[in-house]
Amino acid sequence: MFGLAALVAFTAARAATRTDESGRPMLLAEQDRTRWDGALILEGLVALQRAQRLGGSSYTLQAELASWHCTAARWEDTPWRRVLGTYDRLLALSPSPVVALNRAVALAMLDGPDAGLVALAPLEAALSRYHLFYATRADLLRRAGHSDRADLERALELATNDAERALLRERMKG
């Protein structure tokens, strides 16, 4: 229960910055951290400590991941090694292709986009209908110096709302 409460608090703390004025989704790296709700972050940290003392659950690990982001002053200060370690524990407790996808992002932040691409490769079949798989791979391909066009087009085909489609179209232009 405390793990879920912590996760909700961390998510709510960032609510005002998840989209821009036009409703376009804002990536975590783009969010204005000065607008995050510090009281909710503190509430999340207290609930997370309680959850960890009680032994935790997958919610506790998800809250721990959110805490690493919420307590980093800047995107660049995110403790990626801790994030990766937490994803390893979450993957062992609750294996899923989406958790593995997120782990690949953390790995790419630590070891570079090529490492992330290697980690993504075995996930394509399981996530072939998930637009964020292709959006993520497109980002890693671009960062590695390769064309991201085909993956952005596939992500655009699979995206289910207009705001995400607009973000993908914007990425295709730039």
pLDDT tens string 6-47 = 999 999 999 999 999 888 899 999 999 999 999 999 999 999
Whether 84 is in a domain gets the answer no
Give the domain extent around 11. 1-78
C-alpha 25/C-alpha 162 separation (Å) is: 10
Shared domain for 104 and 133, answered yes or no, is: yes
Shared domain for 53 and 101, answered yes or no, is: no
pLDDT of 76 strictly over 80: yes
Residue 72 confidence (pLDDT): 96
pLDDT of 100 strictly over 90: yes
Shared domain for 43 and 111, answered yes or no, is: no
Q: Which two tokens stand for residue 173?
A: 């232009």
Whether 32 is in a domain gets the answer yes
Residue 121 confidence (pLDDT): 97
C-alpha 15/C-alpha 39 separation (Å) is: 13
Residue 86 confidence (pLDDT): 97
What's the pTM?
0.92
Q: Please say whether the beta carbons of 6 and 48 come within 8 A.
A: yes
pLDDT of 174 strictly over 80: no
Q: Please say whether the beta carbons of 152 and 135 come within 8 A.
A: yes
Residue 61 confidence (pLDDT): 97
Q: Domain containing 146 — which CATH number?
A: 1.25.40
Whether 161 is in a domain gets the answer yes
Number of domains composing the chain? 2
